[in-house]
Amino acid sequence: MSNTFYVEILTPDRKFFWGDVESIIINTPSGQIGILKDHMPMVALVEVGIVKIKKDGNWLEAVLGQGFMEVKQNRTIILADTAEWPDEIDINRAKAAKERAMERILRRENQTEYIRSQAALARAMARLAAGKKVK
């Protein structure tokens, strides 16, 4: 009997990942959660960070932006604003984005800009973490 379930990760630009997997670990506002076959139905917010996907006994990692996840009947659909494999990440660009975000956070111009800067910093940090594992 198979211990796999179907996962799709979609972004506005592409169908990033699809297939049967053994497990996924994903970031939510409450922390990381793991999904296995026969997981209870749920809908959750997805936070910026690394998603870990166990397929055929091997772990794959990717960086996801914010989004939503629905789990039901051994099918998990993740809608994220961005998704990147580590080898797609430009480390120099991520470093520059991190610096820009930190500068904007220190300026604290207004609440909206502060929140946007925090999100940009989280994306840059996730990209750097994933990119370091490839290099």
What pLDDT does residue 129 have? 75
- Shortest CA distance to 133 belongs to which of 76, 71, 75, 62? 62
Residue 77 sits in a domain whose CATH number is 2.60.15.10
Q: How far apart are CA 99 and CA 89, in angstroms?
A: 16
What pLDDT does residue 45 have? 96
39 and 100 together in one domain: no
13 and 43 together in one domain: yes
In the predicted model, is pLDDT for residue 91 greater than 80? no
DSSP for residue 131? H
Percent of the chain having pLDDT more than 90? Answer: 59
72 and 22 together in one domain: yes
Q: Whole-model pTM?
A: 0.76
60 and 34 together in one domain: yes
Q: What b/e string do you get for 79-107 counting C-beta neighbours within 10 Å, with b at 16 or more?
A: bbebbbebeebeeeebeebbeebeebbee
78 and 110 together in one domain: no
Q: How far apart are CA 128 and CA 93, in angstroms?
A: 10
41 and 25 together in one domain: yes
Look at the chain and report how many structural domains it folds into. Answer: 2
77 and 95 together in one domain: no
Radius of gyration over every alpha carbon of the chain, rounded to an integer in angstroms: 16
72 and 112 together in one domain: no
pLDDT in tens, 97-135: 777 777 877 777 777 777 777 777 777 777 777 766 544
Measured between alpha carbons, how far apart are the two ends of the chain, in Å? 38
Residue 118 sits in a domain whose CATH number is 1.20.5.440
**Structural domain of residue 46, as residue ranges?**
5-84
Determine contact, residues 75/39, Cβ cutoff 8 Å. no
In the predicted model, is pLDDT for residue 54 greater than 90? yes
